[in-house]
């Protein structure tokens, strides 16, 4: 079973996310738990939490089908300790909101070293930040998302992601989300059989497939190794449908959220339907 869906809106309240996911035929979904472009948000009310859980149950969504995403403002790799403390606090709040909602994962971009420290030191800073937050909130897994390698963003190689996971030192509380556009932009060629198999063989060797907790299915407007984080609708970019047919037909990607972040929401129903047909579900 593949949990194919999209990153849906929480407009009107987090409790609307599962309803929005069901409306597009999703078997899984992603969401923010607050406004992603603001540092602060009102606490979740007991009524909103209860309604979210009720709607998830009514739509047959369980926690392993849902991959929430944190705020874009957070930078756990910020070299300045005082500024980094703000990001750690915000990330801890995001973990807490997931815990309140009964969710077990929080997807996030690892962070940026801002060209103030080495990439290796940046990876260690990110791991320390994640560990500090995880120690404050139980049960929620911190899911690192690979990046395209743009600017000074870290996490664009499997080696960097492996280093971060190892330095967190809490293997039961960490995981990885692979974004197909980001992987391609960073140099992982998913457009042919040889490249696809090499990519995931390298992932398994360096990190382990057991740490793959979700995927973002996005085509790419950029070229291989171009470090351009620009998503395209499935089949309209450099990856083509080959990549997504491979993922849909591969049992290694069963039982994890497979989430569209493609830019044309009007195509989500069709994209989800085709992916589910290819997956036989």
Q: Taking Cα atoms as reference points, which of 193, 196, 121 lies closest to residue 152?
A: 121
Planar angle of CA 21, 40, 258, nearest 5 degrees: 25
Please identify which of the residues 84, 109, 173, 213 carries the catalytic annotation: 109
Please identify which of the residues 15, 145, 219, 271 carries the catalytic annotation: 145
Q: Examine the residue annotation and report whether 72 is marked as an active-site residue of this protein.
A: yes
Q: How far apart are CA 106 and CA 60, in angstroms?
A: 20
Please identify which of the residues 7, 173, 213, 216 carries the catalytic annotation: 216
Please identify which of the residues 22, 69, 84, 274 carries the catalytic annotation: 69
The strand pairing partners of 212, in sequence order, are 176
The strand pairing partners of 121, in sequence order, are none
The helix/strand/coil state of 1 is coil
Q: Examine the residue annotation and report whether 145 is marked as an active-site residue of this protein.
A: yes
Please identify which of the residues 7, 22, 97, 231 carries the catalytic annotation: 231
The strand pairing partners of 154, in sequence order, are 111
What contacts 38, CB < 8 A, 6 or more positions away? 71, 73
Q: Examine the residue annotation and report whether 231 is marked as an active-site residue of this protein.
A: yes
Please identify which of the residues 47, 72, 197, 252 carries the catalytic annotation: 72
Please identify which of the residues 70, 100, 179, 219 carries the catalytic annotation: 179
Please identify which of the residues 97, 182, 213, 276 carries the catalytic annotation: 182
Residue 61: phi and psi, rounded to 5, are -105, 130
Q: Examine the residue annotation and report whether 69 is marked as an active-site residue of this protein.
A: yes
The strand pairing partners of 217, in sequence order, are 260
Please identify which of the residues 250, 261, 264, 265 carries the catalytic annotation: 261
Q: Examine the residue annotation and report whether 182 is marked as an active-site residue of this protein.
A: yes
Q: Which contiguous run of DSSP H or E holds residue 70?
A: none
Please identify which of the residues 70, 219, 229, 271 carries the catalytic annotation: 229
Q: How far apart are CA 7 and CA 217, in angstroms?
A: 11
Q: Examine the residue annotation and report whether 261 is marked as an active-site residue of this protein.
A: yes
Q: How far apart are CA 164 and CA 159, in angstroms?
A: 9
The strand pairing partners of 107, in sequence order, are 69, 143
Q: Examine the residue annotation and report whether 15 is marked as an active-site residue of this protein.
A: no
Question: Known catalytic residues?
Answer: 37, 69, 72, 109, 145, 179, 182, 216, 229, 231, 261
């Amino acid at each position: 079973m593949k949990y194919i869906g999209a990153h849906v809106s929480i407009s009107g309240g987090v409790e609307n996310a599962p309803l929005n996911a069901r409306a597009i035929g999703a078997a899984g979904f992603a969401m923010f738990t607050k406004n992603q472009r603001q540092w602060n948000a009102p606490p979740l009310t007991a009524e909103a939490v209860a309604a979210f859980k009720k709607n998830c149950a009514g739509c047959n969504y369980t926690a392993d089908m849902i991959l929430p995403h944190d705020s874009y403002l957070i930078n756990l790799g910020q070299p300045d300790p005082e500024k980094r403390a703000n990001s750690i606090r915000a990330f801890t709040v995001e973990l807490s909101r997931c815990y309140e909602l009964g969710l077990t994962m929080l997807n996030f971009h690892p962070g940026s070293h801002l060209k103030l420290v080495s990439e290796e030191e940046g990876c260690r800073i990110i791991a320390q930040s994640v560990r500090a937050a995880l120690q404050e909130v139980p049960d929620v897994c911190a899911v690192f998302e690979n990046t395209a390698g743009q600017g000074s963003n870290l996490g664009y190689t499997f080696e960097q992601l492996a280093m971060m996971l190892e330095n967190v030192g809490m293997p039961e509380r960490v995981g990885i989300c692979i974004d197909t556009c980001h992987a391609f932009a960073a140099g992982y060629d998913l457009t042919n059989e040889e490249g696809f198999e090499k990519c995931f063989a390298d992932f398994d060797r360096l990190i382990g497939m057991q740490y793959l907790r979700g995927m973002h299915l996005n085509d790419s407007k950029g070229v291989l190794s171009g470090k351009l984080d620009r998503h395209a609708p499935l089949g309209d970019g450099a990856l083509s449908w080959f990549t997504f047919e491979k993922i849909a037909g591969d049992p290694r990607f069963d039982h994890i959220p497979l989430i569209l972040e493609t830019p044309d929401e009007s195509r989500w129903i069709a994209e989800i339907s085709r992916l589910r047909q290819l997956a036989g579900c």
